[in-house]
Amino acid sequence: MPGKTKLRIARPVTDIEATSEQYRGAFGLAVIFTFKDHDGFDGVMLGHKDHDWHFEFTHSHTHAIAPTPTVEDLVVFYYPDEKEWSAVVAKAESFGFKKVKSFNPYWDANGVTVEDRDGYRVVIQRAEWSL
């Protein structure tokens, strides 16, 4: 795999606008692309100009695909600065993310796990990425 490979995290959601607002507000992401009725799907891609990854949230007009996250389907954001970490946790809550106990206690030791409106989990980890 090339060193500069891009990453897309694609998920079906129940309400694209509400999910987009939730992630943009909580994590400072921007809309990088939208599409309407592309082979029966609407979607939005959210990311940051300095990152090589983005989220894609979709909704199908023709098939009822319900979000089916599990307690171990996680996206983890690392924030080594405690003030920045605290601000992101507060912002996530203010945009409707709900704090939950992590299934794996490792994530509760130095972070907070939150769920979005469809039950997808995000860990806001208070640590430096060190691998």
What is the CATH classification number for the domain harbouring 41? Answer: 3.10.180.10
Q: Both 14 and 50 in a single domain?
A: yes
- Say which residue the tokens 């039950």 belong to: 119
- With respect to residue 130, please indicate whether it lies within any of the assigned structural domains: no
Q: Residues 50, 82: one domain?
A: no
Question: Considering the domain boundaries, does residue 78 fall inside one?
Answer: yes
The number of distinct structural domains making up the chain is 2
Q: Is the pLDDT of residue 127 over 80?
A: yes
Specify if 2 maps to a domain.
Answer: no
pLDDT in tens, 30-75: 999 999 989 999 999 999 988 999 999 999 988 878 899 999 999 9
Residues 12 and 56 in one domain: yes
Residue 43 within a domain = yes
Residue 48 included in any domain: yes
Whether residue 46 lies inside any domain: the answer is: yes
* Residue 65 belongs to a domain: no
Instruction: Give tens-digit pLDDT for 1-32.
Output: 777 889 999 999 999 999 999 999 999 999 99
State which residues form the domain around 11.
Answer: 7-60
Q: Is residue 41 part of a domain?
A: yes
What is the chain's mean pLDDT, rounded? 95
Query: Based on the domain organization, do 45 and 86 belong to the same domain?
Result: no
